[in-house]
Amino acid sequence: MFVIQLSEGIYFVVHDEESFENHPDLIGFGVKTDLNGNPIHDKGGKTIPENLTIGKIRPGDKIVYYTRGDHLIRGIFAVEEKLEEGDHRRARDWSRHGIQFRVKSITKPKSDVDFRNTIFSGKDALDMFSHLDNLKKQWGMSVGGKNYIKQITPHDFQVIR
């Protein structure tokens, strides 16, 4: 067994096409809720993210922005800031209590980049799929959900970039 060393601050974020088209300067994530749908808060009064990886995101971190459905890498982005509830720059059509970050584009592809071509190119295998038994059948499930986030290795970042 081998251990993959993660570098802080590089994330693979999945949103749907509509979210990207409507808010290319934002990423957003859900929060834990009680049975009535109300957000759950920690002792400090902050909402608790559905995925604890979200709590690691800091300004300056890099984001590989992927949209599901069309399988496109939309670009490399940098996190500018976390937006607090009530900030007028938040997406109003996303969950009111969700966690949102402003991002800015660092690199946009000149033409569409189908992520499947990167996965199946046969060149460098991506560490983010090393746990899969059958890459061809399982890769899509391993980047599941429209608000998925995964911390990735510098190797994966270089291959995708």
Domain count, the chain: 1
- The answer, yes or no, to whether residue 5 has pLDDT greater than 70, is no
**Residue 79 falls inside a structural domain:** yes
Domain membership flag for residue 2: no
- State the average pLDDT over residues 35-43: 91
The pLDDT, as a whole number, for residue 83 is 95
How far apart CA 155 and CA 150 sit, in angstroms, is 14
CA–CA separation, 66 and 16 (whole Å) = 8
pLDDT tier for residue 3 given thresholds of 50, 70 and 90: very low
pLDDT at residue 160, as a whole number: 85
Digit-coded pLDDT (tens) for 89-133: 999 999 888 999 999 999 998 888 888 888 887 677 888 888 888
Report the DSSP pairing between strands 26-29 and 149-151.
unpaired
Count of CB atoms situated within 10 Å of the CB of 77: 25
Mean pLDDT of 20-32: 94
Tokens representing 18 are 């509509």
pLDDT recorded at residue 8 = 61
Residue 1 lies in a domain: no
Q: Which domain holds residue 55?
A: 13-160
CA distance 95 to 111: 31
Q: Is 13 helix (H, G, I), strand (E, B) or coil?
A: strand
Residue 2 clears pLDDT 70, i.e. is over it:
no
In a domain, 5, yes or no: no
Read off the pLDDT of each residue in 51-62 and give the average, rounded to a whole number: 93
Burial-class residue 133 by CB neighbours within 10 Å (0-12, 13-18, 19+): exposed
pTM of the complete model? 0.86
- pLDDT of residue 1 exceeding 50: no
Q: What is the CATH number of the domain that holds 91?
A: 3.10.590.10
Is position 63 within any domain? Answer: yes
Q: In what order do the strands lie in the sheet with 72-83?
A: 26-29, 99-107, 72-83, 62-68, 10-16, 149-151
Is 3 inside any structural domain?
no
Q: Is the pLDDT of residue 80 over 50?
A: yes
- Domain membership of residue 8 (yes or no) is no
Which is more confidently placed, 143 or 26? 26
